[in-house]
Amino acid sequence: MNFQSAQILTGVRHEEVVASKTGFSSALNAHERAKLNLSRLTITAPFTGIIGDLNVQPGQYVSPSTECCKIVDLSRVRINVGVLESEIQHLKIGRAASIELPAYPDEKFTGKIVTINPIINPENKTFRVCVELDNPNYKIKAGMFAYVKLDAQIYHDKLLVPRTAILTRDQRTLIFIIRKNEDGKNLAKWSYVDTGLENEEYVEILKSNLGLDAGEQVITSGHYTLAHDAEVRVVSGE
């Protein structure tokens, strides 16, 4: 007779025998298994995010393979940009990027280049450049369309004027420089210029017959019919 049998015969394990015969022990085991399964129903996300593409409803039965939802972290977003092979040589990781979204036409966002794919897309002959930016208010949503400008070649010590300052008269390029006369009045000085590099906002001035200096004010509006040495009033200090 083993020890467990002796305990049963002597009444030490009488409650266990009764529980086994009445089915109570099986019910207790089932209850413990149910508690364990219930504890496993709480799923903790691996990161803080927002639930998207919710595919289930409260009370719905799901199987282990059911996709219930997606969790999206929108605190930082990435934008993939296609860059022509002729321009890829000028880009570097860490360079700044300016982003505009049709969804927010009055706002501009800034980011930086984080990756440059070294493999070209054979279909459109572009390289995939990834730009990352902060999205603290979750305004930018996944899948939105964006216009992106990337800092490519950087030129130092260039004399630039706004593109709106450039005029063409008699097939010559000119600008109006604001200079004071002996009486302290602001006069518009007609100056022919030679231009160099340019982008959508600025034009490089290579040479000015009046010797344009960095920091001098130039006229950017209301100057199409302006005459040389006309007195002007500065309405913007920029």
Residues 6+ apart with CB under 8 A from 231: 185, 186, 187, 188
Q: What is the CATH number of the domain that holds 174?
A: 2.40.420.20
* Integer Cα distance of 98 and 106 in angstroms: 13
Residues 140 and 190 in one domain: no
Residues 141 and 173 in one domain: no
The pLDDT of residue 22 is 56
The pLDDT of residue 9 is 47
* Integer Cα distance of 127 and 88 in angstroms: 7
* Integer Cα distance of 195 and 193 in angstroms: 6
Contact 212, 174 (CB under 8 A): no
How many structural domains is the chain composed of?
Answer: 3
Instruction: Report if residue 129 sits inside a domain.
Output: yes
Contact 71, 47 (CB under 8 A): yes
Which domain covers residue 11, as residue numbers?
3-39
Mean pLDDT of all residues in the chain?
Answer: 86
* Integer Cα distance of 206 and 224 in angstroms: 22
Tell me the average pLDDT across 95-99.
95
In terms of Cβ atoms closer than 10 Å to its own Cβ (0-12, 13-18, 19+), residue 202 is middle
> Which pLDDT tens digit goes with each residue over 104-151?
999 999 999 999 999 999 999 999 999 999 998 889 998 899 999 999
- Its pTM stands at 0.58
> Which pLDDT tens digit goes with each residue over 145-180?
999 999 988 888 999 999 999 999 989 999 999 999
Tell me the average pLDDT across 43-59.
86
